[in-house]
Structure formats: C-alpha cells, structure tokens
Amino acid sequence: MSQQESSITVELPDGSTLDVPSGATVEDVAYEIGPGLGSDTVAGKLDGELVAKEEPVYDGARVEIVTPSADEYLQVMRHSAAHVLAQAILREYPDAKLATGPPTEEGFYYDFDDVDVDEGDFDDLVAEMEAIVDDDLDIEREEVPLDEARDRVAGDPYKEEILEDLAAGDRGADDDIETVSFYGQGDFSDLCAGPHVASTGEIGAVDLREIAATNWRGDEDEPRLTRVYGTAFGSESDLEDYWERKEEAERRDHRRIGREMNLFSIPEHSPGCVHFHPDGMAIRRELEDYIRAKNDELGYEEVWTPELNKVDLWKTSGHYEHFCEEDEMFHWDQASARTEGDDADEYGLKPMNCANHVHLYQRERRSYRELPKRYCEFGTCYRNERSGELSGMLRVRGFTQDDGHAFVTRDQIQGEVTRTLEVIDEVLADFGLDVTFKLETQPDDSFGDDALWERAESDLRSSLDALGEGYEVEAGEGAFYGPKIAADAEDAIGREWTVGTVQLDFVQPDRFDLVYVGEDNEEHTPVMIHRALLGTFERFMAVMIEHFAGRFPLWLAPEQVRVLPLNEEVLGYAHRLRNDFEESGFRATVADGDDTLQRKIRAAHDENVPYMLIVGPDEEEAGTVSVRDRAEREARDVDPDAFREHLRAEREEKRLEPDFLDD
C-alpha cells in the first residue's frame, strides 16, 4: 500500500490540514499536533459533532480537540454525571431498567423503568452520587463484539433495542459495525458511545432537579418511563450560582407573571394556542405597530394570506415532506357533501408563510427593475408539536410570525441581508437585548444541490462580515431549504433566546419555477430571503415578560398611568386627568374603589404600573398631581402637562425604565 493510500487528511480549526494514518483517532490527531494537547484530550468534535477521543477520524473531517478548558468539557462531564445517577439508582433500586441518559443544556437526565422514585428520595440519591464521585472511579471505555454485547444487555429491553438499532444501521448508525462501546466505572457499566471524563472524581458538584414522566423514544404508544433530571458543575460555587439563577428564572416565569397580570391564557380546549387578554393584546399591538414601522423602513408591502391551503402547495415547497415525516403538520382529507370534485382534496394548516408569498410573486411577470420585491405578513401558522413539549408561549402549536420574504437578484443579496441584520440589531437594542449572530449551515435533510448551499452560505458570510460584529457558526443547523443567520438575544439574567432570523433560499424559487426578466431580456431565477425581526409574537412576548420580569417599559406596559384619588371628593378630578392622558394616547385608569390610598399604591406597584398619579383636594385646587413610580420614588406639585410631555418623550424614545423621577 502506498503512503498516499495509507493516510488521510483532516482539517484543523485554524483551517490548516494535517495528514494522519488511516484509522487514526481523535486522540491520535491531538498527539500529532503536540504531546501536551494529546495528554489533555478529553473528547473531540468531528464536523461539529461531539465524539469520544477514541473515535476514528475520516478523510476530510474537520477536527477539534476538546480539553478541560473547552466549552464542551462541561457537556462531557454532565454525560458522566448521568452515568453516576444511573449507578446510584441501581444501587438503591436494583431492579430498575435503564433507558438513555444524555447531557442537556442545563445538566443531564436519565430515563428509567421499573423504579418507584420521587423527589422525596433526592437527598439519598444525591448522597449516593456524591459517594461515587468521592470514590474517584476510573471511567473506562471498552469495545465489545456485537454477540458479547447482546449477552451483556440481555434482560434490559431498552438497551437491547438500542443495540439492535445499532446493528441494523437504524437511527443514523453505520450498518457494518462489528463492535460497540461500553463505559464502566466500578460496579457499573453502560452501553454508550461517549464521550466521558477520565474518572468520576472529575465531576465537581452534582444535584438533582426534578422528576417527569416521558415515553420511550418520545412515542406516546411506547412504555411510560420515569425521567430524573439533574445537573453538574465543576465546583460547588458554580452549582450554587446555578440554583440562584434558577430561582430568579422561576420568579420571572412568563406563565406565572402572565396569570398574575392577566395577560394571556392557554385553555384546555385550545392546547398550544394562546388566548391574548386585553392587557396582553395591548402589548402585542405595540409590538405589531413597532414592527410595521420597521417593515416600512425596509420597503416591505404588508399582505395577508390564509392559514388553510390544499397540501399541493406544501408538496411543491417541500414543507409537506419535511413536516409530515415527523407528523408536525396538521392535514386531512376533505371529502363531504359540501366538497365535490376538485374540492374533495387534502388540506392543511400552513406551517410557514413562505409558499403563500411565492404565490403572490408568481401572479405577475416580473422584471429585474421590480426587485427586490418584498412582502411582509403577521401570518398565523400551526405545527403539531407533541403535547409534552408545549411550554407556555415559548413552545406552542399556533403562532404568529412577523414574517417577511424578499425576492432579489444575486447581486442584491449582500445589501439586502446586511440591511436586515442592521435593523434586527436596532430592534433588539430597543428592548435592552444584546445580540449574537449565528450562521447555521447545511443540515443533513437539506434540499437542493450542495453547490447552491455553498453559494448561499458564502453570501451570508459576506453579509455578516460587512456588519462587522462577528458571529458564530452552528454547523448543520440551517433550514432544509437554505442556510440561515439566527439572532440570539441575551436577556437580563444571561439566558440566550433565538428571536430574529434571516434565511437565504435558492431551493423554493427553483421548485416553484420563479423567474424574472433580466436586463439581458432573458429569464433568471430570483433568490428568496426569509426574515423575521422578532420571530413569533408568542415566543417574543414570553421572552419580554421574563426579561423585564413583568416590569415593562412605559411604551409596552399594558397600563401606563394609574390615577389614585385620595377620596370620593376628587373622583371627578381623577377622571378628568385620566381622560386627558387617554386623549394623548396613553393607557390610563382610575383606581376608584374603596381601598385606602396605601392599598391602592401597593396594588399598582404589585401590578407593575410604571406611574401613579396621587390626587387629593390640595392637588385639585392647585391643578397639580403627585407623581410616584414603581421604584417608589415620588414628587409633589407636578404640572400634569409637563408630566405628559415627559411621557411622550419616554414613549417615543422607548426608554427602558420610567425616568421622570430620576435624580
């Protein structure tokens, strides 16, 4: 065998290449780079996928080495902590059956069958886990032939099924495997691909969070399992910080605040579909008006398209195949006495707005002089999310996007995308959110030629470079029809939320045969840009509720001013003031009940009203008000007209906090 045939070439993070022997592992690559890196290697990433250090590399792979200083190290440690939990469960409940136990963004979980455990057992389980960590057990990987592996997992139905899936090449596994890996630590061993840390002693601190019911493989027809959630950190102080953040997140939970402020509800008769109450609708209308103004700046024309379509539209666009494969699309055969002939067909609720906007574009013959052609819509879409995955307004079945689609020539891509990113940056800054842009590249289920994807990704990189703010790359996370840029916003307590997106699409214009007549009088295919400035109103409102903890800026607050009369004698004055503020476009009310003034103040404070105007006989006689804000600052003898002028400026400038009483 020649030298060329016995070696392969891998790509390193800096773009350089390295020749290594065929069959080399991630760890071997690290040692080729340097012995120090080799000895520090915990795991690796192949084309962005986290793998064990023992994983063989392949020709052309992008290889990253994971060491204890890498961001991914915590994920590896949490995977090992999941095994520690499984080991502790088996010690306490020897008849338990193990399913799966991956790391998560906040920690890890493990699913069990035949175990009767509740949160009252957590103290004992955590104590057992801490003992396993203190024992500093070596975590060792073992490659086991398939037949021997079958003997090892005999009697564990879930491990047996996983093993047979691996052997059959199902669920993304290779179909020619001869061995599988087990990881052992002391008296515990688990069928697992890894990666893991070298010993249980590397797990700094562990705790358990909650218990939930789930189904095997996420399928409601499969057995019911017990899921135990936990978390792990490198130190006790990091764990304590986590619980403090967790408590703060619970205090800000949009579901609780939404109930307390009477903003929205999701009743049992509409699972996953939000009912906006009057105060919640006031916030939503502000957001709609705000985005309409931004759309006007960007040159979009507002349209409306129906939620109900024959599925032929979605078959052409590719959404039918994509969403129906996972049963995520609401669709049905429509045949009855009312539907005959062509109407007796399959219908569906739209999962996206883009195909309807394609219809608007293709109704007329287009010239290059008309491009960019831009449509925007507050379009309501539906996805058949699993009931167990629904979460308040963050994960819903019915949602309304601030959607937009621009049809452009290739030469217009960079300018169009760059300007859109600039506006997204401006929008999120108005809400006090810092943004990180992420380029999400071609996924495994993509449509279209690889060459088109490379062109699309190159164009998006150029736009991000032109913006000059830097960006991260999320390999394989693009939409099935094109790569995208996600705007991840960091909220008041450091959590990241994906809100705005810009997606480049060469696929759908081709599938729908979209054309424009170029300057050369020839037909050309336009490029389609999908964009959302906020994402969906439901999700963005949930993020805003939690970001502000219900203490909205004046311009968003459902109630902006509440007038508090000292007694019945000044009710007329209080209502005249309220009317004056309403005529100026503010949302104002009068607290005209029988409560004491102190109770009225406390109620307004608890309900997050930005400003209170306290009026009594002295204020009525002088034609003034006492102004109090929700930060409990107060000023007397204030001219109502001067206060209104301040509110106009505070509203127009979208200031984040009431500042009339700033020192």
Residue closest to 589 by CA, chosen among 617, 611, 559: 559
User: Is residue 524 marked as binding?
Assistant: no
Q: Which of 383, 539, 646, 651 is catalytic?
A: 383
Q: Is 530 a catalytic residue?
A: yes
Q: Which two tokens stand for residue 605?
A: 């404070």
403 is catalytic: yes
Rounded to the nearest 5°, which phi and psi values hold at 103?
Answer: -75, 160
284 is catalytic: no
Half-sphere exposure of 314 (CA within 13 A, CB side): 25
* From 354, 402, 491, 539, the catalytic residue: 354
Measured from the Cβ of residue 644, the count of other Cβ atoms closer than 10 Å reads 17
Q: What SS3 state is found at 567?
A: coil
Q: What is the DSSP-derived secondary structure letter of residue 610? A: S
Does 254 belong to an annotated binding site? no
The answer to whether residues 228 and 110 touch, using CB atoms and an 8 Å cutoff, is yes
For 325, residues 6+ apart whose C-beta sits below 8 A from its C-beta are none
- DSSP letter, residue 482: B
Alpha helices, DSSP H only, in 236-353? Answer: 236-251, 254-260, 278-298, 312-317, 319-325
Q: Is 401 a catalytic residue?
A: yes
Letter for the amino acid at 445? D
Give the gyration radius of the chain's Cα atoms. Answer: 29
How far is Cα 76 from Cα 102, in angstroms, rounded to an integer? 10
Q: How do strand 472-474 and strand 434-440 relate by DSSP bridges? A: parallel
Q: Which of 530, 539, 628, 651 is catalytic?
A: 530
Other Cβ atoms within 10 Å of 9 Cβ, number: 12
Catalytic residue check, 75 = no
146-153 vs 157-168: helix axis angle to the nearest 10?
160
The catalytic position among 284, 331, 405, 539 is 405
Is position 111 annotated as part of the catalytic site?
no
Q: How far is CA 154 from CA 191, 193, 262, in A?
A: 12, 19, 54
Say whether 114 is catalytic.
Answer: no
Q: Is 87 exposed, middle or buried (0-12, 13-18, 19+ CB in 10 A)?
A: buried
DSSP 61-86: -BEEEE-TTSTTHHHHHHHHHHHHHH
Annotate 332-353 with DSSP letters as a single string.
Answer: EE--BTTB-GGGSSEEEE-S-S
How far, in Å, CA of 84 to CA of 569, rounded? 70
Tokens coding 470: 């830097």
- Closest Cα to residue 660, out of 635, 637, 623, 624? 635
How far the first Cα of the chain sits from its last, in Å, is: 81
On whether 646 is known to bind a ligand per the annotation, the reply is: no
Q: Which residues are catalytic?
A: 354, 383, 401, 403, 405, 484, 530
Binding annotation for Zn(2+)? 354, 405, 530
Binding annotation? 354, 405, 530
